[in-house]
Amino acid sequence: MKLDRSWTPAFAVAVIALISGGWLLQQGDAPQSSGDYSNARLFEQVHHIVSQRYVEDMESSELYRMAIEGMLSELGDPHTTFLDSAEYADLRLNTTGNYGGLGIRIESQDNWITVVDVLPDTPADREGLQPGDRIIEVKGESAKGWSTTDAVKVLRGPKGSSVHITVARVGVSKPLGFEITRDEVQVASVHSFMLDDNVGYVRLQQFSEQAQRELESAIGSLQEQGARSLVLDLSANPGGLLDQGVAVADLFLPEGTKVVSTKSRVSSQNETYRAPNPEKYGDLPVAVVVSRYSASASEIVAGALQDHDRAVVIGSRTFGKGSVQSLFGLAGGNYLKMTTARWYTPVGRSIQRDRGEDSQMSELMANTISVSGNAISTASTDTAQQQVYHTDSGRAVYGGGGITPDLLVSTDTLTQPEQEFRQELSEAGVILDNAAFQFGVKWSREHDLSPDFEVTGEMRDAFYRRLSEEHGIEVDRELYDGARGWVDWNLRIQVASAAFGPEERLRQRVASDRPIQRAASLLRRANTPGEVITLAEAEKGSVGPSGEGNSFDGGSEQ
């Protein structure tokens, strides 16, 4: 049953107020008293009256659940929620790394469920969902006001079953509908390869139970291939388990080094977490790449390595999910997942960001779309408005929620002609990366390609014809040519994916990712962790405190 989440304590006063043309029948005077006992008695009186006299029959158990949901909703914290036994099982699946579903990671933002990451080679990826998509309907029912728990409950289901969702996408005027067939999702936390002879790359997708072990194995393999420095990509990593965040930071920090602390109303939760072991990669130069959708454990790792001058942080200011949730067992196999503490970096910065900034960020993102089609913010972080803290060496870092990178580097964005072409395709129901992938399957079967293939004029013309022949859309050739940079970017990635698999697709994406390429550029010039910091500080100092101008024009053909 869909629960009415509009219940608030204001409902209690409905028994003594005349409401808009209705009739009020007051059944005696309410006693005047105060205190917890009397408030509990008041609640029971309201519950009794509703269960006995409301115009529609209501199950007593359902009323209690509605009351619980209403109370938690009034806290205004999307991370505090009531879990029944099935929802708790879903939560466990999230953190163990194997589950069935669509293959997306979601957050509640601005009262809507928002896709923050799409896992490679999953049902959602194959159908063309993108980070930044807002799920507005599921099976015809509005998703406004849903918590992530609500969404997980309906999006997951038996393998082979399907679910219809409707999303709103930035830059597209009409909602987009998707019919997605659920499948078992095997979540690999780590993907890695060499960027060149000396720089290794590791993408950590989430902090599941095996994150530290998988990361350690990947770094070891890269070092065997000659890696003398590392790009640690935490962009769009939504976090996961706190102990895995500490364990990952432990790989790079000396034993006993402070990683993160928690502050709570309950003294037993005022804890400091320190690196439990000697660092394994103490001499390895590291650059950490983060994005708007990097959250929780990602921010713990980035903040700890930044505060201790162990790594340079590059990208966009992170999400700011700095709260600790505790699970409380309840009767009937139910659980309460509730925020009980907040996280702070080693120098005392609160990771939690004021959620009121989300609506401001949405306005900034309204007409800003990356080459991958994601809604992003390209605005510089105004560090003049943020509280200043200092790292171990005395470098300035900034509070105010989230982690502000040492070097602010935005991703490439679509030009106006590219946005117009994207809009025309979307209104015709065509998603470019889907169409490019389908084209790539056919093209790779008919042509002998190598992983370093180039997008040729022949390929571009053939794809233009396919848009008309297979998708029934007549695209103005001048508009198509004006969007050549974006078309080529999609063709390069999707043809590579069709021909060589998801790892080659990731390689192609990384090759044109500005923050990652900026990180690699720094690492190529550094022999020690300290030199990476020095080089980053020199670059930052040349463009001013807000980070304006910290962009890298490499890799993309935009």
Residue 431, φ and ψ in degrees, nearest 5: -100, 120
Q: Which two tokens stand for residue 550?
A: 């910290």
Of residues 41, 82, 79, 42, the one with CA closest to residue 62: 82
The helix or strand, by DSSP H or E, that contains position 312, with its residue range, turns out to be: strand 312-315
Say how far apart CA 374 and CA 412 lie, in whole Å.
Answer: 11
CA 422 to chain centroid, in Å, comes to 23
The helix or strand, by DSSP H or E, that contains position 436, with its residue range, turns out to be: helix 432-446
Catalytic residue from among 73, 291, 294, 296: 296
Long-range contacts, stretch 167-170, CB < 8 angstroms, 24+ apart: 167/115, 167/129, 167/133, 167/134, 167/135, 167/136, 168/112, 168/133, 168/134, 168/136, 169/130, 169/132, 169/133, 169/134, 169/373, 169/375, 169/426, 170/132, 170/365, 170/366, 170/367, 170/368, 170/369, 170/375
Say how far apart CA 292 and CA 516 lie, in whole Å.
Answer: 15
Residue 109, φ and ψ in degrees, nearest 5: -135, 130
321 is catalytic: yes
272 CB neighbour count, 10 Å cutoff: 11
Say how far apart CA 311 and CA 229 lie, in whole Å.
Answer: 11
307 is catalytic: yes
DSSP letters, 35-53, are SHHHHHHHHHHHHHHHHHH
Say how far apart CA 161 and CA 181 lie, in whole Å.
Answer: 6
Catalytic residue from among 108, 147, 235, 321: 321
337 is catalytic: no
Give the Cα-Cα-Cα angle 527, 529, 534 (nearest 5 degrees).
90
Whose structure tokens read 């938690």?
A: 72
Of residues 60, 149, 109, the one with CA closest to residue 336: 149
Contact 426, 174 (CB under 8 A): yes
Residues designated as active site: 296, 307, 321
